[in-house]
Amino acid sequence: MKPKQLFRVIDPGYGKRNIFRFIARITMSLGPVAVATAAHRFIPWLAAEVISENNCRKNRGAPLDENGLIDHLSLQQTSRATVIGISASITNAVPRALAIIETYAHLPAELRPKAIIVGGWHAGDDPEPFLRAGATVVVHGEADLVIAPLVAALCHGQDLAEIPGISYWLGETIVRNGIPNDFDRNCAPGQQGFLVVPQEQMDSLPEPDFGLVRFATIKVLPVSRTRGCSGRCKFCRVKGVARHQSPEKLVAQIQSGFSRGIRRFFVVDDRAEEDFDGFSRWLTLLDEWVEARHIKGLDISTQHRLSLAGHPRADEVLSLMRRVGVSTVCIGFESPIKEELEAMAKPTKQSMMLEWTKAWKRYGFLVHCMMIFGYPIRPGQPQPRNSRGEVLTTAERAEIFWQFIKRVNPAYLQLLIYSPIIGTDDYQWLEAEKRVLHDIPYEFHDGLHVCYVPDPGTTPDEVQHEAVTLSRKFYARRVWRFQWLALAAHCLKVGTVVCSMPLIWAALMPLKGWQARLAWQWPKEKFRVSITHWGAQLIIVRFLASLPPFARLLSSVTKRPTT
């Protein structure tokens, strides 16, 4: 029997300074798995595999180089892939994606793949660098419905003119194929030309097959039923019209992961409640399954708008969420400053933010607060001002943020510096005003480093300093100025929590009707928060050690004349 040809999909490693690489070591990006699954499912002569450079272990057989990333020459020598797929959604991972393309494109003829496909938002918005690096094709948008015919055409050397939504070289010219109406009518305004799966075909998509993943240890399984978002936030690249799979499909993903021993799940939908009736339905179905099978240990994280707590049916769904095991809610607060929220086009009522937060916390959720510091306001729009009528300084903005954070008192804080993302509305006007710092390498485009020129009266150095200080103050409070003392304090706190957990559990038992699992929930969450804060402080210490070289780079870049 003829051996199957291999389609290898690679999720490139993040930049080494990216703090999100720590959580990436125990999970996977869903997109590469979904694309590999679609190709594998619909091409009978094709095998597929997925490799995440952020989650690859030597003890699971991964051939690693001196940087802890995949040694692609060694991998190709061991298992030759006919077609390579590379995900280039995250700007921070673009340098590594380009390096991987060049590696495969310059392999000896006997090892070189027939084709290299690149997808993801960044590549779709800026395909030329990837094609010049050696990619055969760049896919614009969601590749699920075109990946099988595309891989088949590339394997057999067929013409690409009939495959929609791709860019490729035709002689010395880059050609971009158009998109039929079935795709285009599902695009948001201004996003025509990008592939999106139509609503009527969402349920036909196969369940992502994590059995295709190699070399990884997956402790947190990503699941999804919604693509796109009805919001039109200026800083966000998620622009497609919201489309949904049936609630049963999401529950099936959780059940499948649970049967493989996974207990932690992350619903990666930009807003889990985008389709409210469907959201309520999958919670109900999951609750029925949990009750019928006496399921224990489910730990689910979801993403929401803060305003869900103000929905007329909020009590119903928040109670359901807690019953099925939703413990952590990731909420984009973005900013406590009214003018910034308006400039973002963020559909959040500033006056209700604290009240809605109290509602989330009243149900016992661990609130993961996501904020953006240093948001640029477009010329002509109102600037935030102090009581004297003057435009807020960076320090004044930081103080407003800090007072708000203290009042919200979330379990976790993810405060990022504004980063101009290619393809967004903000990027377009910042680029037109020459405020995007192109001399800052992509490896620093991670929300932790200033990559743009802030508003007048604010300097990049000030934004960088105040943003880092806010995170330090949250995770270390009064001893935030003393890195190692703060770390020692966290170690002491973790030890205290561990020692007190049995006592707390025993005290809660009569209050929880002598149900051991319910009594254990609160001390377990206290332990999780304390250990996460300890880890965050350790990350901050490491980040501060790596910051001086960037500070020098930022200073030199911002002193250069604008061209």
Distance separating alpha carbons of residues 276 and 313, to the nearest angstrom: 10
pLDDT in tens, 387-428: 999 999 999 999 999 999 999 999 999 999 999 999 999 999
Distance separating alpha carbons of residues 92 and 420, to the nearest angstrom: 12
Q: Is 106 exposed, middle or buried (0-12, 13-18, 19+ CB in 10 A)?
A: exposed
Beta-bridged to residue 48, according to DSSP, are 7
User: Going from the N-terminus, what domains does the chain have, and what CATH number goes with each?
Assistant: 5-203 (3.40.50.2300), 219-481 (3.80.30.20)
pLDDT in tens, 230-288: 888 999 988 778 999 999 999 999 999 999 999 999 999 988 888 999 999 999 999 99
Look at phi and psi of residue 271 and say left if phi exceeds 0, alpha if psi is from -120 to 50, else beta.
Answer: beta
Distance separating alpha carbons of residues 220 and 197, to the nearest angstrom: 26
The answer, yes or no, to whether residue 478 has pLDDT greater than 80, is: no
150: Cβ–Cβ under 8 A, 6 or more apart, which residues?
117, 137, 139, 143, 160, 163, 166
Q: How many other CB atoms sit within 10 Å of the CB of residue 181?
A: 8
Distance separating alpha carbons of residues 279 and 282, to the nearest angstrom: 5
pLDDT in tens, 292-304: 999 999 999 999 9
* 275 SS3 class: coil
Angle at 220 between CA 214 and CA 225, to 5 degrees: 95
Q: What is the pLDDT of residue 562?
A: 56
* 168 SS3 class: strand
Dihedral angle at the C-alpha atoms of 399, 545, 422, 330, nearest 10 degrees?
-60
Residues of the chain by 3-state class (helix, strand, coil), percent to 5: 45, 15, 40
**Listed range (111-115, 161-165, 371-375, 483-487) with the worst mean pLDDT:** 483-487
Rounded to the nearest 10 degrees, what angle do helices 516-559 and 483-508 cross at?
A: 160
- In this prediction the pTM is 0.93
298 and 263 Cβ atoms separated by less than 8 Å:
yes
Q: How many other CB atoms sit within 10 Å of the CB of residue 506?
A: 11
Distance separating alpha carbons of residues 220 and 30, to the nearest angstrom: 11
Residue 561 pLDDT grade (very low, low, confident, very high; cuts 50, 70, 90): low
Look up residue 126 and give its two tokens: 């800026």
- What is the strand order of the sheet 299-304 is part of? 220-223, 264-267, 299-304, 326-334, 366-373, 412-417
DSSP letter, residue 393: P
**Listed range (282-286, 435-439, 459-463, 489-493) with the worst mean pLDDT:** 489-493
Q: What single string gives the DSSP state of each residue in 181-233?
A: HHHHTTSPTT-TTSB---GGGGGGSPPP-GGGB-S---SEEEE-SEES-S---
244 and 275 Cβ atoms separated by less than 8 Å:
yes
537: Cβ–Cβ under 8 A, 6 or more apart, which residues?
475, 476, 486, 487, 490
